[in-house]
């Protein structure tokens, strides 16, 4: 885990949920709920980015991250500037530190979606404007903020509840584990032994008093849970797709697994989903699925994240 990187004044980077105090996460969630409720009738005070421009840098293609951040910035009164990884060639034509310094002279904030987490940290270390983690191979905090918002809309406060992750150990799972340490809920993780969470993440979770339960049996992991979570078996940057498919076949979320979870459980997936692989159509399109609520809530959660990054409170 990286140590939080400070900025002068009230501005803050949003890099990993483990960097935030419980009260900061709760502050963002409360703001997201308030601004979502009045999206069609916003207050003048909601235009917290008026006069500000945010660079959006994408090394990898994106639907939800790109459009949700673009709309969030616009609806908060700011302007977004889209830049591709090929245009910047981060760390190749010049040092990441120099790129950070130049961008900080042009724009008021940077949202970046890049595989290499170390490059994200290096960019934030040298930027003098807020840097937001839109996704790395290591973590995906914006997605999990939207997931937490979705959970609490459906089930109430997440503290003391149980969520169950089934499948591969990836960047979204890491952010869920960090959230569990900060907000006090149980996370059961059912993975094949070969794909279990990395030892340093488990060590961090134990040190930060997360109720993390590592399991092999997906049926046992979901029994009586409040939420079942799955993700793609092969993520961007993975080179061993065939091996992963063979290992993860027993971890498909289907009607039988949701029956083991019980009717009270909701189903989450950050999308895009490989229908018929990690989840079946009957689950993804079924009454327990909240996947499209999650997708919408990226917009609202990210508005609140942007407000927090500039030291603003959404009233």
For 60, phi then psi, to 5°, come to -120, 155
Active-site residue, from 231, 252, 288, 300: 231
Q: Is 117 annotated in the active site?
A: no
User: Which residues, 6 or more positions from 195, have their beta carbon under 8 angstroms from its beta carbon?
Assistant: 168, 169, 244, 247, 248
Q: CA–CA separation, 252 vs 283, rounded Å?
A: 10
Q: Is 231 annotated in the active site?
A: yes
Active-site residue, from 13, 113, 182, 269: 113
For 292, phi then psi, to 5°, come to -80, -25
Q: Is 113 annotated in the active site?
A: yes
Tell me the angle at which helices 171-183 and 22-37 cross, rounded to the nearest 10 degrees. Answer: 100
Q: Is 312 annotated in the active site?
A: no
Active-site residue, from 12, 13, 64, 140: 140
Q: CA–CA separation, 180 vs 195, rounded Å?
A: 20
Active-site residue, from 64, 270, 288, 302: 270
Active-site residue, from 143, 252, 288, 302: 143
**Tokens standing for 28?**
């963002």
**Residue (of 97, 62, 105, 64) closest to 83 by Cα position:** 62
Q: Is 140 annotated in the active site?
A: yes
Q: Is 125 annotated in the active site?
A: no
Active-site residue, from 11, 13, 174, 298: 298
User: What is the set of active-site residues?
Assistant: 113, 140, 143, 231, 270, 298
């Amino acid at each position: 885990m990286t140590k939080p990187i400070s900025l002068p004044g009230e501005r803050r980077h949003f890099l990993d949920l483990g960097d935030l105090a419980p009260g900061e996460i709760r502050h963002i969630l409360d703001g997201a709920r308030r601004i979502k409720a009045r999206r069609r009738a916003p207050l003048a005070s909601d235009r917290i980015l008026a006069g500000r421009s945010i660079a959006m840098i994408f090394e990898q293609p994106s639907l939800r991250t790109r459009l949700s951040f673009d709309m969030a910035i616009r609806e908060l009164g700011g302007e977004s500037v889209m830049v591709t990884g090929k245009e910047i060639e981060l760390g190749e034509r010049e040092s990441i530190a120099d790129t950070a310094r130049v961008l900080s002279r042009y724009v008021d904030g940077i949202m970046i979606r890049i595989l290499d987490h170390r490059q994200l940290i290096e960019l934030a270390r040298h930027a003098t404007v807020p840097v937001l983690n839109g996704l790395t191979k290591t973590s995906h905090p914006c997605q999990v903020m939207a997931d937490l918002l979705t959970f609490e809309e459906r089930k109430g406060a997440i503290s003391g509840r149980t969520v169950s992750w089934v499948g591969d150990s990836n960047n979204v799972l890491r952010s869920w584990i960090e959230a569990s340490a900060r907000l006090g809920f149980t996370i059961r993780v059912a993975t094949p032994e070969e794909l279990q969470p990395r030892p340093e993440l488990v060590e961090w979770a134990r040190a930060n008093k997360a109720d993390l339960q590592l399991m092999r049996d997906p049926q046992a992991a979901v029994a009586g849970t409040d939420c079942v979570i799955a993700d793609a078996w092969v993520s961007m940057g993975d080179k061993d797709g065939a091996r992963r498919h063979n290992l993860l076949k027993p971890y498909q979320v289907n009607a039988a697994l949701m029956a083991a979870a019980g009717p009270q459980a909701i189903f989450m997936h950050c999308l895009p989903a490989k229908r018929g692989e990690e989840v079946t159509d009957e689950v993804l399109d079924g009454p327990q699925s909240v996947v499209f609520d999650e997708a919408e809530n990226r917009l609202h959660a990210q508005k609140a994240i942007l407000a927090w990054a500039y030291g603003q409170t959404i009233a």
